[in-house]
Amino acid sequence: DAGVIQSPRHEVTEMGQEVTLRCKPISGHDYLFWYRQTMMRGLELLIYFNNNVPIDDSGMPEDRFSAKMPNASFSTLKIQPSEPRDSAVYFCASSLGQYSNQPQHFGDGTRLSIL
């Protein structure tokens, strides 16, 4: 079975540019999570969705960040305008929320560098 698929794997861009990260969750999973990981701050939850609806976006750092989930098989995380401090690894994860004992499954991540 295909796991969580993220694209691109790597992104290098100049500050001020718009960045769009993409995620395809595991088929049938009804929860989708976006995380950011840095050495300094560890793994931070940015936002999560249930059945395509954003449930908690309290981790989104500021208005420059936005996330959407137009359907059950696709989500985007957008940064506009990007800044060097946004450089991090961004992970997408999905889970089956019907049963609370189900774990999350992570994608390979997008390594983002803002110059």
Partner 1 sequence: RKEVEQDPGPFNVPEGATVAFNCTYSNSASQSFFWYRQDCRKEPKLLMSVYSSGNEDGRFTAQLNRASQYISLLIRDSKLSDSATYLCVVNNFNKFYFGSGTKLNVKP
| CB count in 10 Å sphere of residue 45 | 16
Q: Is 75 exposed, middle or buried (0-12, 13-18, 19+ CB in 10 A)?
A: buried
| CB count in 10 Å sphere of residue 105 | 15
90 binds partner 1 (CB under 8 A): no
Q: Which of 40, 42, 53, 71 binds partner 1 (CB under 8 A)?
A: 42
Q: Which of 19, 21, 25, 31 binds partner 1 (CB under 8 A)?
A: 31
Stretch that binds partner 1, among 10-18, 69-77, 79-87, 101-109 (CB under 8 A): 101-109
Q: Which of 14, 43, 84, 115 binds partner 1 (CB under 8 A)?
A: 43
74 binds partner 1 (CB under 8 A): no
Report whether 82 contacts 13 (CB < 8 A): yes
Whether cis (ω within 30° of 0) applies to the bond prior to 25 is no
Stretch that binds partner 1, among 13-21, 61-69, 72-80, 89-97 (CB under 8 A): 89-97
